[in-house]
Structure formats: C-alpha cells, structure tokens
Structure 1
C-alpha cells in the first residue's frame, strides 16, 4: 500500500490552524507531498499523505473531516477520476486540484465538476493556505447546515398528529379562525397549539414556523 504517512502534527512554537480537519495530500511526486505536508504542519494543519488515488480512496473514513489536495495527473487513477468517485461517495469533502499543467480548459472542467479550487505547481504557499482555509470553511459550513437540518427534523418528528396538522394549515396561509373551523376547535385552542409549536420548533414568529415547513419540503 502506498500510503506514505499517517499524520503530521504541528511543530512546537507554531500556532495551530484556525479551522480543524485533515488535509489529505494525494500526489505521486514524493517531493511535492513531503514539502507540502511540512509547510502545512508548520502552519498547524494535520495531514495524511498518499502516493496514488487508489490508496487514498481505500483509506477514506466514512465521514472525513478536512479537504483533499489532489494531483491532476497521476499513474493509475487520474485526479479527475478520483474526484468523480469522491463526488459519488464523499460529496461533502472539498477538493483542491494541484497540477503542473494548468490550461484554461482543464481548470474550467475541474471547477465545473465541483472542485473547491485549483493551484498550479510550483505551489505558492500563501495561495495554498488561502485555498485550504477556504475549503475547510466550506466543509464546516456544510456540516453546520446538516446539523441544523437534522435538529429541525428531530423536532418535527416529536410533534403530535394534531400539532402537525395545525402547522400544515398555518403554512398553507389559513388564519386562526379558519384553522379552528377546519379542525372543529376554538380559535383559542389554535393559539395554544401555535404557542406549543413555537416552543417545540424553537421559533419566535409565525413566519419562522412557516419557514420550517418550507425548508422541510425543499429537502
């Protein structure tokens, strides 16, 4: 197996990176792997190194946290092919392409396919750090969105059938009195349900309640 190293930890005396996550470096050029990993470790990033796409894909954790520095042209699977597999299995993992062959058509192809960024070799260190921070921030934002959505779904699942019905009717634009008539309850009871819904779904206004329903329908 061509995995070169497990992790590189920050050296003493250097401030850790602001954003957490592992930078997976996939490049068949040992000098590029090692120099890039050393520089990133000096800046506080953890890294894992791989000499080919096949070994990288086989070693991927189920829910990787970080980003990938991926050489565009390698023996075996190319960077494009590795990226295509990642889009199917780990779409949340940002990819930064590295290449010594940075023609416009290739750059456009990679970015259109969903790459986070594209850096030409020899790698400019400032550009590298900027791209890595951008990619890690991108994944952190996606993870936060997933957590918020998961929490919303969990709260929705705890509603009673009647609470869900009241919420649906309110989201359809019905006024309290109309909801009351439709469900054969009093307007005061509708207000009680509305207050209970706001408490359970952690919202403050009717607009926020309706937004919860709208967001759920968009999933």
Structure 2
C-alpha cells in the first residue's frame, strides 16, 4: 500500500497469541494494518483505536465470549463488518440467530486467500 493515504485497519480479538500473530502477519503481508486484542474486555476498553474496516472475533474468549461481543457491536448504530471465528462447526441456530445482525462466520483453520479476498470486499478495498 505504498503511497496510499488510506489505511485498512482490522481488529483481531483472539486469546491464542500464536493464532492472532499469524493472522496479523497474513493480513499485514497483504497491506492491512492490524491491532490485536486478547479478550473482548480489552477491545471494549481500548482507547485511541483506528477506524477499523473489519473486526474479527474468536468465538471462545476468556470473560465475555465472541458472540456476545459481536451482538453488542452489531447493536450500535454504526459498526464495521464483524467476522465471528470458530474452530468448530457453527450450528444452524447460531447462524439463524446472528445472520440478521450482519455477523459473518469463519471456520478455523481458514483459507488464507479466501480470507484476504473476503476482507478486501468487506473493507471496500480494490484487489
């Protein structure tokens, strides 16, 4: 993104530091800027955050879980796209309950190229 004045910030909320750092490395390699949070509470408490074009949230987190964080964010008048991630399959009830809120679902492990394409689309970035 050399020479571009637009930054594409993605928040990654995941308590697994290895996963979070590898996801950040993938996103950074494709020109996204990332900010990592190890729990929902640290995300909520963060100050001076950039305007995120997308927020990726793990399902299982210490304290407040990922679905609750996503539901809270989705209830706000204006929020960036939300991606809820899980290492297990999502059940139909989860999908039916959260899909109307605009929450997208991503199963771990994910296809790196697929994720980058999805984020480019969600963030309104030209590929």
TM-score range, shorter chain: 0.7 to 0.9
Give the aligned CA root-mean-square deviation in angstroms: 2.4
In terms of fraction of residues, the more helix-rich structure is 1
Separation in 2 of the partners of 1:78 and 1:90? 21
Q: How does 1:1-219 map to 2 (within 5 A)?
A: 20-59=7-46, 64-89=51-76, 91-105=78-92, 106-115=94-103, 117-137=104-124
Residues 101 and 109 of structure 1: is their aligned pair in 2 closer, same or farther, counting only changes over 3 Å? farther
**CA displacement at 1:126 relative to structure 2:** 1.2
In terms of fraction of residues, the more strand-rich structure is 2
Structure 2 spans left out of the alignment, 5+ residues = none
Structure 1 spans left out of the alignment, 5+ residues = 1-14, 139-219
**CA displacement at 1:60 relative to structure 2:** 5.4
| Length-normalised TM-score, structure 2 | 0.82
Give the number of equivalent residue pairs: 122
**CA displacement at 1:134 relative to structure 2:** 2.0
Separation in 2 of the partners of 1:51 and 1:81? 15
Q: Which has the higher contact order (CA 8 A, sep 6+)?
A: 2
**CA displacement at 1:123 relative to structure 2:** 1.9
